[in-house]
Amino acid sequence: MKPYHALETLAIHAGEAPDPQTGALRAPIHMASSFELPGFGPKLFDALMMESERPPHVYTRWSNPTLRALEDRLTALEGAEAALTTASGMAAVASLLFTLLASGDHVVASEVCYAGTVELLGEHLPRFGIDVSLVNTSDLAQVRAALRSETKLLYVETPANPILRIADIPALARVAHQAGALLAVDSTFAGPMLQRPLDLGADYVVHSLTKYLNGQGDAVGGVVLGPREGIRRVRQDMLIHLGGAMSPFNAWLILRGLTTLPLRMERHCANALQVARFLESHPRVERVVYPGLESHPHHDLARRQMAAFGGVLTFQLKGGLGAAVTLAERIRLFRYATSLGHAHSLLFYYPTDIYLDDVSYLSPAQKHRIRAWMGDGILRASIGLEDVDDLIADLDRALRGRTLKGLIAPLAYRLLSRR
Catalytic positions: 61, 114, 186, 211
CA dihedral 265, 268, 271, 272 (to 10 degrees): -110
Q: How far apart are CA 302 and CA 409, in angstroms?
A: 37
Q: Are 146 and 121 in contact (CB under 8 A)?
A: no
Please give the C-alpha separations between residue 312 and each of 46, 102, 214, 276, in angstroms, as whole numbers. Answer: 44, 35, 16, 9
> Which residue type does 314 have?
T
Q: Identify the bridge partners of residue 83 per DSSP, sorted by sequence position.
A: 225
Q: Are 60 and 235 in contact (CB under 8 A)?
A: no
Q: How far apart are CA 94 and CA 83, in angstroms?
A: 15
> Which residue type does 285 have?
V
Closest-CA residue to 215 (of 253, 185, 187, 245): 253
**Which backbone phi and psi does 172 adopt, to 5 degrees?**
-65, -35
Q: Identify the bridge partners of residue 204 per DSSP, sorted by sequence position.
A: 184
Mapping DSSP to helix (H, G, I), strand (E, B) and coil, where does residue 348 land? Answer: strand
